[in-house]
Chain A
Amino acid sequence: MRINHRDVVAGLFLVLLATIGLFLNMDHNLGTARRMGPGYMPWMVFLLQAGLGALVIFVSFGKRGERVEVVKPEGIDIVRIVSVLMFATAAGTLYLTQYGGVRADKVVTFTIMAGAIAAGAIALWIRSPETDGTMAAWTQGEFVAFVAAMVAGVLAWYFIRGAGGYFSQGYNAVGIGMLVGFLVLAIPPGWRYLGLICACMCIFGLFLEKLGFYLALIGTILLACLAERDHIRKPLGVLGLTAFLLVLCWFVFIRELDIRVNLWPT
Protein backbone atom coordinates (compact mmCIF):
# COMPACT_ATOMS: atom_id res chain seq x y z
CA MET A 1 0.00 0.00 0.00
CA ARG A 2 1.29 3.43 -0.90
CA ILE A 3 0.39 6.54 0.95
CA ASN A 4 1.93 9.93 1.52
CA HIS A 5 2.62 9.70 5.17
CA ARG A 6 3.13 13.32 5.93
CA ASP A 7 -0.19 14.16 4.32
CA VAL A 8 -2.00 11.61 6.42
CA VAL A 9 -0.58 13.18 9.55
CA ALA A 10 -1.31 16.69 8.25
CA GLY A 11 -4.89 15.70 7.48
CA LEU A 12 -5.33 14.09 10.88
CA PHE A 13 -3.89 17.19 12.45
CA LEU A 14 -6.50 19.38 10.73
CA VAL A 15 -9.31 16.99 11.64
CA LEU A 16 -8.12 16.85 15.24
CA LEU A 17 -8.06 20.64 15.59
CA ALA A 18 -11.49 20.90 13.95
CA THR A 19 -12.95 18.27 16.24
CA ILE A 20 -11.66 20.07 19.29
CA GLY A 21 -13.10 23.30 17.87
CA LEU A 22 -16.50 21.77 17.15
CA PHE A 23 -16.54 20.31 20.60
CA LEU A 24 -15.75 23.59 22.31
CA ASN A 25 -18.25 25.33 20.07
CA MET A 26 -21.05 23.33 21.70
CA ASP A 27 -21.11 26.00 24.38
CA HIS A 28 -22.10 28.67 21.86
CA ASN A 29 -25.51 29.46 20.54
CA LEU A 30 -25.82 28.82 16.81
CA GLY A 31 -28.70 31.21 16.21
CA THR A 32 -30.45 31.39 12.87
CA ALA A 33 -29.18 32.35 9.44
CA ARG A 34 -30.79 35.76 9.88
CA ARG A 35 -29.51 36.40 13.38
CA MET A 36 -26.37 34.35 13.58
CA GLY A 37 -25.32 33.51 17.09
CA PRO A 38 -21.72 33.42 18.26
CA GLY A 39 -21.48 29.75 17.35
CA TYR A 40 -22.62 29.97 13.73
CA MET A 41 -19.42 31.02 12.00
CA PRO A 42 -17.12 28.74 14.06
CA TRP A 43 -19.49 25.86 13.35
CA MET A 44 -19.29 26.42 9.59
CA VAL A 45 -15.55 26.97 9.68
CA PHE A 46 -14.72 23.87 11.71
CA LEU A 47 -17.00 21.66 9.65
CA LEU A 48 -15.25 22.88 6.53
CA GLN A 49 -11.88 22.31 8.12
CA ALA A 50 -12.74 18.77 9.16
CA GLY A 51 -13.92 18.11 5.62
CA LEU A 52 -10.72 19.46 4.15
CA GLY A 53 -8.63 17.44 6.56
CA ALA A 54 -10.49 14.31 5.52
CA LEU A 55 -9.90 15.25 1.89
CA VAL A 56 -6.17 15.64 2.54
CA ILE A 57 -6.08 12.14 4.00
CA PHE A 58 -8.13 10.76 1.14
CA VAL A 59 -5.91 12.30 -1.52
CA SER A 60 -2.76 11.10 0.23
CA PHE A 61 -3.71 7.53 -0.54
CA GLY A 62 -3.47 8.24 -4.23
CA LYS A 63 0.00 9.79 -4.09
CA ARG A 64 2.79 7.98 -5.85
CA GLY A 65 6.40 7.54 -5.07
CA GLU A 66 6.35 7.21 -1.34
CA ARG A 67 6.18 3.65 -0.23
CA VAL A 68 5.03 3.08 3.26
CA GLU A 69 4.27 -0.04 5.18
CA VAL A 70 0.83 -0.55 6.54
CA VAL A 71 0.86 0.34 10.15
CA LYS A 72 0.67 -2.69 12.35
CA PRO A 73 0.75 -1.85 16.03
CA GLU A 74 3.44 -3.78 17.85
CA GLY A 75 4.20 -3.97 21.52
CA ILE A 76 6.16 -0.78 21.65
CA ASP A 77 3.49 1.08 19.69
CA ILE A 78 0.83 0.06 22.13
CA VAL A 79 2.96 1.28 25.01
CA ARG A 80 3.42 4.57 23.22
CA ILE A 81 -0.22 5.00 22.35
CA VAL A 82 -1.41 4.17 25.82
CA SER A 83 1.06 6.53 27.45
CA VAL A 84 0.14 9.40 25.16
CA LEU A 85 -3.54 8.71 25.71
CA MET A 86 -3.17 8.67 29.46
CA PHE A 87 -1.16 11.82 29.41
CA ALA A 88 -3.60 13.66 27.15
CA THR A 89 -6.51 12.71 29.37
CA ALA A 90 -4.77 13.69 32.55
CA ALA A 91 -3.41 16.98 31.29
CA GLY A 92 -6.60 17.94 29.51
CA THR A 93 -8.77 17.22 32.53
CA LEU A 94 -6.40 19.02 34.81
CA TYR A 95 -6.22 22.11 32.68
CA LEU A 96 -9.82 22.40 31.66
CA THR A 97 -11.25 21.88 35.11
CA GLN A 98 -8.74 24.21 36.74
CA TYR A 99 -8.82 27.04 34.27
CA GLY A 100 -11.27 26.42 31.52
CA GLY A 101 -14.76 26.95 32.84
CA VAL A 102 -15.63 23.98 30.63
CA ARG A 103 -18.07 21.64 32.30
CA ALA A 104 -16.47 18.54 33.80
CA ASP A 105 -18.68 15.98 32.02
CA LYS A 106 -17.58 17.35 28.67
CA VAL A 107 -13.95 17.29 29.65
CA VAL A 108 -13.77 13.51 29.82
CA THR A 109 -15.32 12.95 26.41
CA PHE A 110 -13.19 15.67 24.96
CA THR A 111 -9.86 14.44 26.23
CA ILE A 112 -10.53 10.84 25.29
CA MET A 113 -11.48 11.90 21.79
CA ALA A 114 -8.51 14.23 21.40
CA GLY A 115 -6.15 11.71 22.92
CA ALA A 116 -7.31 8.90 20.65
CA ILE A 117 -6.82 10.98 17.52
CA ALA A 118 -3.47 12.31 18.70
CA ALA A 119 -2.33 8.81 19.52
CA GLY A 120 -3.36 7.57 16.09
CA ALA A 121 -1.52 10.40 14.42
CA ILE A 122 1.63 9.85 16.40
CA ALA A 123 1.54 6.12 15.87
CA LEU A 124 1.43 6.66 12.12
CA TRP A 125 4.06 9.29 12.35
CA ILE A 126 6.67 7.35 14.22
CA ARG A 127 6.43 4.46 11.79
CA SER A 128 7.23 6.62 8.82
CA PRO A 129 10.43 5.72 6.95
CA GLU A 130 10.93 9.28 5.76
CA THR A 131 13.96 10.71 7.40
CA ASP A 132 13.99 14.40 6.52
CA GLY A 133 13.77 16.32 9.76
CA THR A 134 13.34 15.00 13.20
CA MET A 135 9.61 14.62 13.28
CA ALA A 136 9.29 12.16 10.48
CA ALA A 137 11.08 9.32 12.22
CA TRP A 138 11.31 9.59 15.92
CA THR A 139 14.02 7.78 17.77
CA GLN A 140 13.32 6.12 21.05
CA GLY A 141 15.08 8.95 22.89
CA GLU A 142 13.10 11.59 21.11
CA PHE A 143 9.86 9.91 21.98
CA VAL A 144 10.78 9.48 25.62
CA ALA A 145 11.89 13.12 25.83
CA PHE A 146 8.66 14.24 24.19
CA VAL A 147 6.47 12.48 26.71
CA ALA A 148 8.79 13.33 29.61
CA ALA A 149 8.75 17.00 28.61
CA MET A 150 4.97 17.08 28.59
CA VAL A 151 4.70 15.34 31.93
CA ALA A 152 7.48 17.39 33.56
CA GLY A 153 6.02 20.64 32.24
CA VAL A 154 2.53 19.94 33.46
CA LEU A 155 3.76 18.71 36.84
CA ALA A 156 6.00 21.76 37.26
CA TRP A 157 3.12 24.07 36.44
CA TYR A 158 0.68 22.23 38.65
CA PHE A 159 2.83 22.18 41.75
CA ILE A 160 4.44 25.58 41.44
CA ARG A 161 1.37 27.65 40.88
CA GLY A 162 0.35 27.21 44.52
CA ALA A 163 3.80 28.11 45.85
CA GLY A 164 2.82 31.70 46.51
CA GLY A 165 4.62 34.97 45.89
CA TYR A 166 6.26 35.30 42.53
CA PHE A 167 5.23 31.83 41.47
CA SER A 168 1.53 32.46 41.87
CA GLN A 169 1.52 35.77 40.05
CA GLY A 170 0.28 36.20 36.52
CA TYR A 171 1.63 33.68 34.07
CA ASN A 172 4.80 32.83 35.96
CA ALA A 173 3.70 29.30 36.81
CA VAL A 174 2.74 28.68 33.19
CA GLY A 175 6.09 30.09 32.13
CA ILE A 176 7.98 27.79 34.49
CA GLY A 177 5.98 24.81 33.29
CA MET A 178 6.85 25.68 29.71
CA LEU A 179 10.49 26.30 30.55
CA VAL A 180 10.85 22.93 32.30
CA GLY A 181 9.06 21.19 29.45
CA PHE A 182 11.24 22.75 26.77
CA LEU A 183 14.46 22.08 28.69
CA VAL A 184 13.56 18.40 29.03
CA LEU A 185 12.64 18.34 25.37
CA ALA A 186 16.05 19.77 24.49
CA ILE A 187 17.91 16.71 25.81
CA PRO A 188 17.86 14.48 22.70
CA PRO A 189 19.71 16.05 19.75
CA GLY A 190 16.66 15.95 17.49
CA TRP A 191 14.66 18.28 19.68
CA ARG A 192 17.59 20.37 20.86
CA TYR A 193 17.02 23.50 18.84
CA LEU A 194 13.26 23.57 19.25
CA GLY A 195 13.60 23.08 23.00
CA LEU A 196 16.41 25.57 23.55
CA ILE A 197 15.04 28.40 21.44
CA CYS A 198 11.60 28.15 22.99
CA ALA A 199 13.10 27.83 26.46
CA CYS A 200 15.10 31.00 26.07
CA MET A 201 12.01 33.01 25.18
CA CYS A 202 10.39 31.58 28.31
CA ILE A 203 13.42 32.74 30.30
CA PHE A 204 12.83 36.22 28.93
CA GLY A 205 9.20 36.14 30.03
CA LEU A 206 10.07 34.82 33.48
CA PHE A 207 12.95 37.19 34.17
CA LEU A 208 11.68 40.43 32.71
CA GLU A 209 9.22 41.59 35.33
CA LYS A 210 11.06 40.18 38.33
CA LEU A 211 14.74 40.53 37.55
CA GLY A 212 14.52 43.40 35.13
CA PHE A 213 15.33 44.12 31.52
CA TYR A 214 19.10 43.58 31.58
CA LEU A 215 19.14 40.26 33.41
CA ALA A 216 16.33 38.99 31.19
CA LEU A 217 18.40 39.86 28.14
CA ILE A 218 21.51 38.21 29.53
CA GLY A 219 19.58 35.04 30.42
CA THR A 220 17.98 34.84 27.02
CA ILE A 221 21.20 35.41 25.11
CA LEU A 222 23.23 32.91 27.14
CA LEU A 223 20.65 30.17 26.78
CA ALA A 224 20.20 30.91 23.10
CA CYS A 225 23.93 30.59 22.58
CA LEU A 226 23.88 27.07 24.00
CA ALA A 227 22.16 26.04 20.80
CA GLU A 228 25.31 26.67 18.80
CA ARG A 229 28.34 24.49 19.35
CA ASP A 230 30.73 27.20 18.20
CA HIS A 231 29.68 29.38 21.11
CA ILE A 232 30.49 26.72 23.65
CA ARG A 233 33.98 26.40 22.23
CA LYS A 234 34.51 30.15 22.15
CA PRO A 235 32.84 31.76 25.13
CA LEU A 236 34.56 35.07 24.42
CA GLY A 237 32.34 35.64 21.40
CA VAL A 238 29.28 35.12 23.57
CA LEU A 239 30.54 37.72 25.99
CA GLY A 240 31.06 40.22 23.21
CA LEU A 241 27.67 39.49 21.73
CA THR A 242 25.96 39.90 25.10
CA ALA A 243 27.65 43.23 25.74
CA PHE A 244 26.85 44.46 22.26
CA LEU A 245 23.18 43.46 22.46
CA LEU A 246 22.78 44.99 25.92
CA VAL A 247 24.03 48.33 24.64
CA LEU A 248 21.99 48.12 21.46
CA CYS A 249 18.77 47.19 23.25
CA TRP A 250 19.31 49.86 25.84
CA PHE A 251 19.78 52.45 23.12
CA VAL A 252 16.86 51.40 20.94
CA PHE A 253 14.22 50.33 23.43
CA ILE A 254 15.04 52.29 26.57
CA ARG A 255 16.63 55.49 25.36
CA GLU A 256 14.79 56.01 22.09
CA LEU A 257 11.48 54.20 22.49
CA ASP A 258 11.14 54.28 26.26
CA ILE A 259 9.15 51.09 26.55
CA ARG A 260 7.76 50.56 30.01
CA VAL A 261 9.76 47.83 31.77
CA ASN A 262 11.63 47.28 34.97
CA LEU A 263 15.31 47.72 34.33
CA TRP A 264 16.64 46.19 37.54
CA PRO A 265 15.54 43.43 39.94
CA THR A 266 12.71 44.37 42.23
Chain B
Amino acid sequence: MTIARRALLATPLAGPAFAQGWPSGSIRLIVPFAPGGTTDLVARMVATPLAERLGVAIAVENRAGAGATVGSLRAAQAAPDGLTLVMSNIASHGIGPTLYPNIRYDAVRDFTHVALLISNPSVFVANPRSGIANLADLVAQHRARPQGLDMASSGAGSSNHMLIVRLGQTLGKEINHVPFRGAGPAMTAVIAGQVPLMSDSLPSAASHIRQGSVRAIAMSSEARHPAFPDVPTMREQGFDVVSTTWFGLSGPAGMPAQVVERLARETRVILETPDIRARFAELGGTPGAMTPAEYTEFVRREVALWAPLVRASGATPD
Protein backbone atom coordinates (compact mmCIF):
# COMPACT_ATOMS: atom_id res chain seq x y z
CA MET B 1 0.00 0.00 0.00
CA THR B 2 3.02 2.36 0.10
CA ILE B 3 2.44 3.65 -3.40
CA ALA B 4 -1.18 4.18 -2.71
CA ARG B 5 -0.38 6.05 0.41
CA ARG B 6 2.07 8.34 -1.30
CA ALA B 7 -0.41 8.94 -4.04
CA LEU B 8 -3.24 9.58 -1.67
CA LEU B 9 -1.21 12.41 -0.29
CA ALA B 10 0.02 11.96 3.17
CA THR B 11 0.47 15.69 3.55
CA PRO B 12 -0.45 16.39 7.14
CA LEU B 13 -2.84 19.22 7.69
CA ALA B 14 -3.56 21.05 10.87
CA GLY B 15 -5.70 24.10 10.59
CA PRO B 16 -6.78 26.01 7.50
CA ALA B 17 -4.46 26.39 4.58
CA PHE B 18 -1.99 29.23 4.89
CA ALA B 19 -0.43 30.84 1.90
CA GLN B 20 3.07 29.89 3.03
CA GLY B 21 2.25 26.24 3.26
CA TRP B 22 0.23 26.22 0.05
CA PRO B 23 -0.63 23.81 -1.38
CA SER B 24 -1.41 21.97 1.81
CA GLY B 25 -3.42 19.21 0.17
CA SER B 26 -4.82 18.02 -3.08
CA ILE B 27 -6.35 20.62 -5.38
CA ARG B 28 -9.79 20.35 -6.92
CA LEU B 29 -10.05 21.74 -10.43
CA ILE B 30 -13.68 22.19 -11.44
CA VAL B 31 -14.47 21.73 -15.12
CA PRO B 32 -17.92 23.24 -15.60
CA PHE B 33 -18.72 21.06 -18.62
CA ALA B 34 -19.30 17.35 -19.23
CA PRO B 35 -16.24 15.21 -20.05
CA GLY B 36 -14.89 15.28 -23.58
CA GLY B 37 -14.97 18.99 -24.44
CA THR B 38 -12.27 21.60 -24.87
CA THR B 39 -12.45 22.75 -21.25
CA ASP B 40 -12.05 19.17 -20.09
CA LEU B 41 -9.17 18.41 -22.47
CA VAL B 42 -7.24 21.56 -21.63
CA ALA B 43 -7.86 21.16 -17.90
CA ARG B 44 -6.43 17.66 -17.93
CA MET B 45 -3.48 18.67 -20.09
CA VAL B 46 -2.52 21.52 -17.79
CA ALA B 47 -3.44 19.79 -14.52
CA THR B 48 -0.91 17.02 -15.00
CA PRO B 49 2.29 19.10 -15.25
CA LEU B 50 0.87 21.57 -12.73
CA ALA B 51 0.34 18.77 -10.21
CA GLU B 52 3.92 17.66 -10.75
CA ARG B 53 5.30 21.13 -10.25
CA LEU B 54 3.25 21.81 -7.13
CA GLY B 55 3.85 18.37 -5.68
CA VAL B 56 0.20 17.62 -4.95
CA ALA B 57 -2.50 15.79 -6.82
CA ILE B 58 -5.03 17.78 -8.82
CA ALA B 59 -8.41 16.14 -9.11
CA VAL B 60 -10.36 17.28 -12.16
CA GLU B 61 -14.06 17.34 -11.35
CA ASN B 62 -16.76 17.72 -13.99
CA ARG B 63 -19.70 19.81 -12.76
CA ALA B 64 -21.75 20.52 -15.85
CA GLY B 65 -24.96 22.42 -16.40
CA ALA B 66 -26.54 25.71 -17.41
CA GLY B 67 -23.79 26.85 -19.73
CA ALA B 68 -20.97 26.26 -17.25
CA THR B 69 -22.57 28.51 -14.63
CA VAL B 70 -23.31 25.64 -12.20
CA GLY B 71 -19.67 24.63 -11.82
CA SER B 72 -18.49 28.24 -11.75
CA LEU B 73 -20.96 29.09 -8.99
CA ARG B 74 -19.63 26.19 -6.99
CA ALA B 75 -16.10 27.52 -7.33
CA ALA B 76 -17.20 31.04 -6.43
CA GLN B 77 -18.70 29.70 -3.20
CA ALA B 78 -15.65 27.65 -2.21
CA ALA B 79 -13.10 28.77 0.38
CA PRO B 80 -10.42 30.94 -1.24
CA ASP B 81 -7.60 28.71 0.04
CA GLY B 82 -6.23 27.98 -3.40
CA LEU B 83 -7.35 24.36 -3.15
CA THR B 84 -10.44 24.86 -5.32
CA LEU B 85 -9.91 26.19 -8.82
CA VAL B 86 -12.15 26.42 -11.83
CA MET B 87 -11.75 26.57 -15.59
CA SER B 88 -13.17 30.01 -16.34
CA ASN B 89 -14.36 30.40 -19.90
CA ILE B 90 -16.26 32.55 -22.31
CA ALA B 91 -19.58 30.89 -21.49
CA SER B 92 -19.57 31.31 -17.73
CA HIS B 93 -17.42 34.45 -17.52
CA GLY B 94 -18.09 36.33 -20.77
CA ILE B 95 -21.54 35.70 -22.16
CA GLY B 96 -23.34 33.88 -19.34
CA PRO B 97 -23.45 36.87 -16.96
CA THR B 98 -25.68 38.65 -19.48
CA LEU B 99 -27.49 35.68 -20.95
CA TYR B 100 -28.67 34.07 -17.71
CA PRO B 101 -31.20 36.32 -16.00
CA ASN B 102 -30.76 34.79 -12.56
CA ILE B 103 -27.06 34.17 -12.41
CA ARG B 104 -25.80 34.16 -8.84
CA TYR B 105 -22.22 35.33 -9.15
CA ASP B 106 -20.32 38.26 -10.58
CA ALA B 107 -17.82 37.10 -13.19
CA VAL B 108 -15.21 39.59 -12.00
CA ARG B 109 -15.87 40.34 -8.34
CA ASP B 110 -16.53 36.80 -7.14
CA PHE B 111 -13.38 35.29 -8.63
CA THR B 112 -9.63 35.59 -8.52
CA HIS B 113 -8.56 35.26 -12.12
CA VAL B 114 -5.17 33.66 -12.49
CA ALA B 115 -4.25 32.96 -16.09
CA LEU B 116 -5.57 32.68 -19.61
CA LEU B 117 -4.77 29.16 -20.76
CA ILE B 118 -5.89 28.87 -24.35
CA SER B 119 -7.79 30.76 -26.99
CA ASN B 120 -9.01 29.27 -30.21
CA PRO B 121 -11.55 29.70 -33.00
CA SER B 122 -14.88 27.91 -33.28
CA VAL B 123 -15.72 25.55 -36.07
CA PHE B 124 -18.97 24.39 -37.63
CA VAL B 125 -18.98 20.64 -38.10
CA ALA B 126 -21.53 18.44 -39.83
CA ASN B 127 -22.37 14.79 -39.81
CA PRO B 128 -20.79 13.34 -42.99
CA ARG B 129 -24.12 11.81 -43.98
CA SER B 130 -26.00 15.09 -43.69
CA GLY B 131 -25.01 16.21 -47.19
CA ILE B 132 -23.64 19.46 -45.83
CA ALA B 133 -20.07 20.19 -46.94
CA ASN B 134 -19.95 23.98 -46.72
CA LEU B 135 -21.92 27.00 -45.60
CA ALA B 136 -23.75 27.22 -48.94
CA ASP B 137 -25.12 23.69 -48.42
CA LEU B 138 -26.12 24.63 -44.90
CA VAL B 139 -27.98 27.71 -46.09
CA ALA B 140 -29.69 25.82 -48.90
CA GLN B 141 -30.89 23.04 -46.56
CA HIS B 142 -31.94 25.51 -43.91
CA ARG B 143 -34.05 27.45 -46.40
CA ALA B 144 -35.48 24.33 -48.01
CA ARG B 145 -36.84 22.93 -44.74
CA PRO B 146 -39.98 24.52 -43.40
CA GLN B 147 -38.74 24.11 -39.83
CA GLY B 148 -35.11 24.91 -40.50
CA LEU B 149 -32.02 23.03 -39.34
CA ASP B 150 -30.98 21.89 -35.87
CA MET B 151 -27.57 22.82 -34.55
CA ALA B 152 -25.95 21.55 -31.36
CA SER B 153 -23.61 23.38 -29.02
CA SER B 154 -21.75 22.69 -25.81
CA GLY B 155 -24.29 24.79 -23.92
CA ALA B 156 -26.16 28.05 -23.92
CA GLY B 157 -23.89 31.03 -23.44
CA SER B 158 -20.87 29.70 -25.25
CA SER B 159 -19.54 31.76 -28.14
CA ASN B 160 -20.51 28.74 -30.24
CA HIS B 161 -24.12 29.35 -29.24
CA MET B 162 -23.78 33.03 -30.18
CA LEU B 163 -22.49 32.01 -33.61
CA ILE B 164 -25.60 29.91 -34.16
CA VAL B 165 -27.82 32.85 -33.19
CA ARG B 166 -25.87 35.23 -35.41
CA LEU B 167 -26.01 32.87 -38.37
CA GLY B 168 -29.75 32.54 -37.96
CA GLN B 169 -30.15 36.30 -37.86
CA THR B 170 -28.01 36.74 -40.97
CA LEU B 171 -30.14 34.21 -42.79
CA GLY B 172 -33.35 35.74 -41.52
CA LYS B 173 -34.57 32.40 -40.20
CA GLU B 174 -33.83 31.03 -36.77
CA ILE B 175 -31.67 27.93 -36.50
CA ASN B 176 -32.95 25.53 -33.85
CA HIS B 177 -30.26 25.64 -31.15
CA VAL B 178 -29.87 22.39 -29.19
CA PRO B 179 -27.74 22.90 -26.07
CA PHE B 180 -25.90 20.02 -24.35
CA ARG B 181 -24.01 19.76 -21.08
CA GLY B 182 -20.71 19.96 -22.88
CA ALA B 183 -19.04 19.35 -26.21
CA GLY B 184 -18.56 15.62 -25.52
CA PRO B 185 -22.25 14.64 -25.45
CA ALA B 186 -23.02 17.13 -28.24
CA MET B 187 -20.35 15.60 -30.46
CA THR B 188 -21.76 12.12 -29.81
CA ALA B 189 -25.15 13.34 -31.01
CA VAL B 190 -23.63 14.78 -34.18
CA ILE B 191 -21.62 11.66 -34.97
CA ALA B 192 -24.77 9.63 -34.42
CA GLY B 193 -26.73 11.92 -36.71
CA GLN B 194 -29.29 12.89 -34.05
CA VAL B 195 -28.38 16.50 -34.77
CA PRO B 196 -26.85 17.23 -38.20
CA LEU B 197 -24.72 20.22 -37.24
CA MET B 198 -22.71 21.54 -34.37
CA SER B 199 -20.88 24.71 -33.55
CA ASP B 200 -17.87 23.68 -31.46
CA SER B 201 -14.60 25.02 -30.13
CA LEU B 202 -11.81 23.80 -32.36
CA PRO B 203 -9.78 21.80 -29.79
CA SER B 204 -12.58 19.40 -28.88
CA ALA B 205 -13.55 18.96 -32.52
CA ALA B 206 -10.00 18.62 -33.84
CA SER B 207 -9.50 14.90 -33.32
CA HIS B 208 -12.95 14.07 -34.67
CA ILE B 209 -12.34 16.17 -37.79
CA ARG B 210 -9.03 14.40 -38.34
CA GLN B 211 -10.63 11.01 -37.85
CA GLY B 212 -13.31 11.90 -40.37
CA SER B 213 -16.18 11.15 -38.00
CA VAL B 214 -17.44 14.69 -38.63
CA ARG B 215 -16.82 17.13 -41.47
CA ALA B 216 -15.56 20.67 -40.78
CA ILE B 217 -17.46 23.18 -42.87
CA ALA B 218 -16.40 26.59 -41.62
CA MET B 219 -13.91 28.13 -39.22
CA SER B 220 -14.52 31.32 -37.26
CA SER B 221 -10.89 32.49 -37.45
CA GLU B 222 -9.70 35.61 -39.25
CA ALA B 223 -7.70 33.67 -41.82
CA ARG B 224 -7.45 29.96 -42.55
CA HIS B 225 -6.19 28.10 -39.53
CA PRO B 226 -2.65 26.68 -39.81
CA ALA B 227 -3.73 23.37 -38.26
CA PHE B 228 -6.61 22.99 -40.72
CA PRO B 229 -5.65 24.81 -43.93
CA ASP B 230 -8.34 22.96 -45.91
CA VAL B 231 -11.21 24.36 -43.89
CA PRO B 232 -12.45 27.70 -45.28
CA THR B 233 -13.28 30.51 -42.89
CA MET B 234 -16.81 31.75 -42.32
CA ARG B 235 -15.83 35.09 -43.80
CA GLU B 236 -14.66 33.45 -47.01
CA GLN B 237 -18.06 31.85 -47.34
CA GLY B 238 -19.96 35.07 -46.94
CA PHE B 239 -20.78 34.91 -43.21
CA ASP B 240 -18.88 37.90 -41.94
CA VAL B 241 -18.01 36.83 -38.39
CA VAL B 242 -14.77 36.32 -36.54
CA SER B 243 -15.01 34.79 -33.12
CA THR B 244 -12.57 33.49 -30.56
CA THR B 245 -13.26 31.31 -27.55
CA TRP B 246 -11.09 31.39 -24.46
CA PHE B 247 -10.47 29.25 -21.40
CA GLY B 248 -8.56 30.22 -18.29
CA LEU B 249 -7.73 29.31 -14.72
CA SER B 250 -9.49 31.04 -11.84
CA GLY B 251 -10.34 30.59 -8.20
CA PRO B 252 -12.79 32.07 -5.69
CA ALA B 253 -12.44 35.75 -4.80
CA GLY B 254 -9.92 36.60 -2.13
CA MET B 255 -7.21 34.05 -2.81
CA PRO B 256 -3.93 35.01 -1.08
CA ALA B 257 -1.59 36.98 -3.34
CA GLN B 258 1.29 34.53 -2.91
CA VAL B 259 -0.89 31.67 -4.04
CA VAL B 260 -2.07 33.55 -7.11
CA GLU B 261 1.45 34.53 -7.96
CA ARG B 262 2.79 31.00 -7.60
CA LEU B 263 -0.04 29.54 -9.67
CA ALA B 264 0.42 32.13 -12.39
CA ARG B 265 4.16 31.54 -12.48
CA GLU B 266 3.85 27.77 -12.72
CA THR B 267 1.09 27.99 -15.30
CA ARG B 268 3.13 30.30 -17.47
CA VAL B 269 6.13 27.96 -17.37
CA ILE B 270 3.86 25.08 -18.36
CA LEU B 271 2.29 27.00 -21.22
CA GLU B 272 5.76 27.73 -22.56
CA THR B 273 6.97 24.14 -22.61
CA PRO B 274 7.42 22.82 -26.14
CA ASP B 275 5.30 19.79 -25.32
CA ILE B 276 2.21 21.83 -24.43
CA ARG B 277 2.82 24.25 -27.29
CA ALA B 278 2.93 21.35 -29.74
CA ARG B 279 -0.25 19.81 -28.33
CA PHE B 280 -2.13 23.10 -28.31
CA ALA B 281 -1.04 23.71 -31.91
CA GLU B 282 -2.33 20.28 -32.89
CA LEU B 283 -5.67 21.14 -31.30
CA GLY B 284 -5.75 24.51 -33.03
CA GLY B 285 -5.35 26.67 -29.93
CA THR B 286 -2.99 29.46 -28.89
CA PRO B 287 -1.54 29.30 -25.37
CA GLY B 288 -2.37 32.33 -23.26
CA ALA B 289 0.25 34.69 -21.87
CA MET B 290 -1.40 37.05 -19.43
CA THR B 291 -0.58 38.08 -15.90
CA PRO B 292 -3.39 37.70 -13.33
CA ALA B 293 -4.08 41.43 -13.57
CA GLU B 294 -4.23 41.30 -17.35
CA TYR B 295 -6.52 38.31 -17.33
CA THR B 296 -8.86 39.95 -14.80
CA GLU B 297 -9.02 43.02 -17.00
CA PHE B 298 -9.60 40.77 -20.02
CA VAL B 299 -12.58 39.11 -18.33
CA ARG B 300 -13.97 42.49 -17.32
CA ARG B 301 -13.74 43.69 -20.91
CA GLU B 302 -15.31 40.51 -22.28
CA VAL B 303 -18.33 40.85 -20.01
CA ALA B 304 -18.77 44.48 -21.06
CA LEU B 305 -18.22 43.61 -24.72
CA TRP B 306 -20.74 40.79 -24.81
CA ALA B 307 -23.51 42.44 -22.81
CA PRO B 308 -24.91 44.61 -25.66
CA LEU B 309 -24.30 41.87 -28.23
CA VAL B 310 -26.21 39.27 -26.23
CA ARG B 311 -29.10 41.66 -25.59
CA ALA B 312 -29.24 42.67 -29.23
CA SER B 313 -29.25 39.04 -30.34
CA GLY B 314 -32.30 38.26 -28.25
CA ALA B 315 -30.70 34.92 -27.37
CA THR B 316 -32.21 33.01 -24.44
CA PRO B 317 -30.72 30.24 -22.31
CA ASP B 318 -33.15 27.65 -23.60
Contacts and interface: CB of A to CB of B under 8 A. Distances in A.
Q: A contacts B directly in the complex (CB < 8 Å)?
A: yes
Interface of A: 31, 35-37, 255-258, 260-264, 266
Interface string B1-40: 1001100111101110000000001100000000000000
A258 B59 CA distance: 14
Contact of B25 (A36, A255, A260): A260
Nearest to B13: A260
Contact of B10 (A255, A260, A261): A255
Contacts of B4: 256
A200 B222 CA distance: 63
A256 B1 contact: yes
B177 to A, nearest CB: 10
B52 interface: no
Given A258-B10, A260-B25, A35 B15 contact: no
Nearest to B102: A38
B318 interface: yes
Contacts of B318: 31, 35-37
Given A31-B318, A37-B318, A258 B15 contact: no
28 contacts: A31-B318, A35-B318, A36-B318, A37-B318, A255-B5, A255-B10, A256-B1, A256-B4, A256-B5, A256-B8, A257-B8, A258-B8, A258-B9, A258-B10, A258-B11, A258-B13, A258-B25, A258-B26, A260-B13, A260-B25, A260-B83, A261-B13, A262-B14, A262-B15, A263-B13, A263-B14, A264-B14, A266-B15
Nearest to B11: A258
Interface residues of B, number: 14
Contacts of A262: 14-15
A265 to B, nearest CB: 11
A264 B1 CA distance: 27
A31 B318 CA distance: 10
A266 B14 CA distance: 9
A263 B8 CA distance: 18
A251 B288 CA distance: 43
Contacts of A37: 318
Nearest to A36: B318
Contacts of B8: 256-258
A18 to B, nearest CB: 25
A36 B14 CA distance: 49
Contacts of B1: 256
A169 to B, nearest CB: 12
A260 B21 CA distance: 14
Contacts of A263: 13-14
Contacts of B14: 262-264
A107 to B, nearest CB: 20
A210 to B, nearest CB: 12
Nearest to A263: B14
Contacts of A35: 318
A264 B15 CA distance: 8
Interface centre among B1, B5, B11, B318 (most CB of A within 10 A): B318
B122 to A, nearest CB: 24
Contacts of A261: 13
Contacts of B9: 258
Nearest to B4: A256
Nearest to B66: A38
A266 B15 CA distance: 7
Interface in B71-98: 83
A37 to B, nearest CB: 7
Nearest to B57: A258
B195 to A, nearest CB: 16
Contacts of A258: 8-11, 13, 25-26
Contacts of B11: 258
Contacts of B10: 255, 258
B17 to A, nearest CB: 9
Contacts of A31: 318
B256 to A, nearest CB: 17
Contacts of A256: 1, 4-5, 8
A182 to B, nearest CB: 28
Interface centre among B11, B15, B83 (most CB of A within 10 A): B15
Nearest to A31: B318
The 9 closest A-B pairs by CB, nearest first: A258-B9, A35-B318, A260-B25, A257-B8, A258-B10, A258-B8, A263-B14, A260-B13, A256-B5
B156 to A, nearest CB: 11
Given A256-B8, A260-B25, A262-B14, 17 more contacts: A31-B318, A35-B318, A37-B318, A255-B5, A255-B10, A256-B4, A257-B8, A258-B9, A258-B10, A258-B11, A258-B13, A258-B26, A260-B13, A260-B83, A262-B15, A264-B14, A266-B15
